[in-house]
C-alpha cells in the first residue's frame, strides 16, 4: 500500500509546512501508530499469560499513543496539511515476562525521544518555530514516559523474581 503526501487539490487552507517538515510529521504519525500497535500486542500477550494488571497498563499506553497520533494529525491540519492514512511498520513483539515488556516499552519510548529530538533540530534549522513549539510537548511526553518506565523497572527488580512479588507487581501495574 502506498502512502501519499498532502493532496493540495483537496485542501482549502494554505499549507504552511515545507515538504521536509510535512514528511517529518507523516513519519511521526507512523511512529505513533506503530507504538500504539506494539503496546496492543504486548497487552494481548499479557492477557494470554494471565498478567491482567500488565495487560491493563499496556492497553493504557496503547491508548496514549493513539492520542499522540491524533495530536499530530490535528497539528498538521491546523497548518494546512493533510495526513494520509499511513501504512504502519509490521509489529513482531514477543515477551514472556513483565520485565521483558518493560524493556520493550523503554526501548520504544527512547527511540521516540530520539526521533522527536531529530525532528526538533530539523524544524529549528528550517525556522519552523510553530513545529518546534509542538515538538517541545512530544519531547516532554517522551522524557516523562522514560522516567516512569525506569521507575517501574526499578520497582520490578525488587521482586527478586519471587512469583508472589511478581503477581503483586502485576496488580500494581493495573492500578497505574
Divide the 176 residues of the chain into consecutive groups of 10 and give the mean pLDDT of each group.
Answer: 44 71 94 95 97 98 96 92 77 92 98 98 94 96 97 96 96 93
Residue ranges of E strands in the chain: none
Any idea how long the chain is?
A: 176
> What pLDDT is recorded for position 96?
95
- The string of DSSP codes covering 16-35 is -S-HHHHHHHHHHHHHHHHH
Q: Where are the domains of the chain?
A: 17-174
> What pLDDT is recorded for position 10?
47
Phi, psi of 27 (to 5 degrees): -60, -35
Superfamily (CATH) of domain 17-174 = Ferritin, core subunit, four-helix bundle (1.20.1260.10)
11-to-5, 78, 84, 86 alpha-carbon distances in Å: 12, 11, 12, 18
Q: Which pTM value belongs to this model?
A: 0.87
Q: Which of these, 62, 64, 68, lies nearest to 45 by C-alpha position?
A: 62
Residue ranges of E strands in 45-149: none
Q: What 3-state DSSP class applies to 126? A: coil
Amino acid at each position: 500500500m502506498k502512502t501519499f503526501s498532502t493532496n493540495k487539490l483537496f485542501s482549502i487552507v494554505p499549507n504552511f509546512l515545507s515538504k521536509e517538515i510535512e514528511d517529518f510529521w507523516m513519519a511521526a504519525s507512523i511512529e505513533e501508530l506503530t507504538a500504539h500497535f506494539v503496546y496492543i500486542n504486548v497487552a494481548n500477550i499479557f492477557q494470554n499469560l494471565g498478567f491482567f494488571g500488565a495487560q491493563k497498563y499496556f492497553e493504557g499506553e496503547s491508548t496514549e499513543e493513539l492520542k499522540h497520533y491524533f495530536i499530530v494529525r490535528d497539528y498538521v491540519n491546523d497548518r494546512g496539511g493533510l495526513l494520509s492514512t499511513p501504512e504502519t511498520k509490521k509489529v513482531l513483539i514477543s515477551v514472556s515476562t513483565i520485565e521483558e515488556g518493560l524493556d520493550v516499552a523503554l526501548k520504544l519510548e527512547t527511540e521516540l525521544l530520539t526521533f522527536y529530538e531529530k525532528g526538533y533540530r530539523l524544524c529549528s534549522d528550517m525556522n519552523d518555530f510553530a513545529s518546534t513549539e509542538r515538538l517541545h510537548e512530544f519531547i516532554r511526553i517522551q522524557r516523562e514516559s522514560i522516567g516512569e518506565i525506569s521507575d517501574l523497572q526499578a520497582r520490578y527488580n525488587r521482586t527478586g523474581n519471587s512469583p508472589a512479588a511478581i503477581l503483586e507487581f502485576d496488580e500494581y501495574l493495573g492500578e497505574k
